């Protein structure tokens, strides 16, 4: 899938020998930092901390339950086969991060900054990215129906083979975004948002009805 991404996105790279990182209530604290390790086959429950940093870390088969990590920094991080449903990453910083085969249903990335981030084959219904700033970000084969991208800034953002049914993108400039491989039925947009957007003929008809246009 990576070779199909039109935008150059820097993926995370990892050392061959990563230590095992054990997270617990003792070390999940404000300003904690973890690097060069793997966190796998575990469940994190009922944790709250701010400004945590993870650098060069792989999360594999980790379940996040009732987790609030506001202002988290994720630098060269991979989440694979993880369940991050309803995780609170509000105002997070993500750089060279990827989410592969993850559940991100209802994840809160509101006001987050995303740079070089890939979401691939993720279940992201009701994902909240309102007021996020996204540059060089790709959503590949993701279910993003009823997601919220309102008031976001997009630069070199791609959606490919994704479900955006009833997604909300009001007040987000979509110029240059190619939706032709996606389901955008019922997408929420304003007329100024879709200037320069790339759609197929059927999507154009759907958007025209949404914007109150009458085609004869």
pLDDT one-digit tens code per residue, 83-126: 999 999 999 999 999 999 999 999 999 999 999 999 999 999 99
Answer whether residue 112 is part of any domain: yes
pLDDT one-digit tens code per residue, 20-73: 999 999 999 999 999 999 999 999 999 999 999 999 999 999 999 999 999 999
Cα 47 to Cα 88, 93, 162: the distances in Å are 11, 19, 31
Give every CB contact of residue 112 below 8 A, 6+ residues apart in sequence.
Answer: 89, 90, 91, 92, 93, 94, 129, 132, 133
> By residue range, what is the domain housing residue 158?
36-210
- pLDDT at 6 (0 to 100): 79
Answer whether residue 1 is part of any domain: no
Which CATH number is 177's domain given? Answer: 2.160.20.80
pLDDT at 216 over 70: no
pLDDT at 1 over 60: no
When pLDDT is cut at 50, 70 and 90, the band that residue 2 belongs to is very low
Tally of domains within the chain:
1
Task: Report the share of the chain in percent with pLDDT over 70.
Answer: 94
Q: Residue 118's beta-bridge partner residues? A: 98, 138
When pLDDT is cut at 50, 70 and 90, the band that residue 207 belongs to is confident
Answer whether residue 76 is part of any domain: yes
pLDDT at 143 over 50: yes
pLDDT at 148 over 50: yes
Whole-angstrom Cα distance, residue 52 to residue 75? 11
Pairing of strands 113-120, 93-100: parallel
Whole-angstrom Cα distance, residue 50 to residue 204? 43
Answer whether residue 148 is part of any domain: yes
Answer whether residue 22 is part of any domain: no
Better-scored residue on pLDDT, 125 or 203: 125
Task: Report the share of the chain in percent with pLDDT over 90.
Answer: 85
pTM of the full predicted structure? 0.94
- pLDDT at 36 (0 to 100): 96
pLDDT at 12 over 90: yes
Answer whether residue 27 is part of any domain: no
When pLDDT is cut at 50, 70 and 90, the band that residue 7 belongs to is confident
What's the chain's average pLDDT? 94
Answer whether residue 108 is part of any domain: yes
Q: Are 52 and 73 in contact (CB under 8 A)?
A: yes
């Amino acid at each position: 899938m990576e070779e199909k991404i039109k935008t150059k996105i820097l993926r995370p790279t990892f050392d061959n020998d990563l230590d095992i990182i054990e997270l617990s209530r003792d070390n999940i604290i404000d300003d904690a930092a973890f690097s060069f390790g793997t966190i796998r086959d575990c469940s994190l429950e009922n944790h709250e901390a701010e400004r945590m940093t993870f650098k060069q870390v792989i999360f594999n088969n980790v379940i996040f339950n009732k987790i609030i990590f506001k202002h988290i920094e994720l630098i060269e991080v991979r989440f694979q086969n993880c369940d991050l449903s309803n995780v609170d990453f509000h105002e997070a910083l993500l750089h060279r991060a990827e989410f592969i085969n993850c559940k991100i249903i209802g994840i809160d990335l509101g006001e987050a900054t995303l740079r070089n981030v890939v979401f691939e084959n993720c279940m992201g219904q009701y994902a909240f990215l309102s007021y996020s700033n996204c540059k060089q970000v790709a959503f590949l084969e993701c279910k993003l129906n009823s997601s919220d991208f309102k008031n976001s800034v997009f630069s070199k953002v791609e959606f490919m083979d994704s479900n955006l049914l009833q997604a909300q993108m009001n007040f987000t400039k979509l110029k240059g975004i190619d939706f032709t491989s996606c389901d955008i039925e019922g997408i929420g947009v304003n007329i100024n948002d879709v200037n320069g957007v790339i759609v197929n003929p059927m999507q154009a008809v759907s958007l025209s009805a949404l914007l109150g246009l009458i085609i004869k």
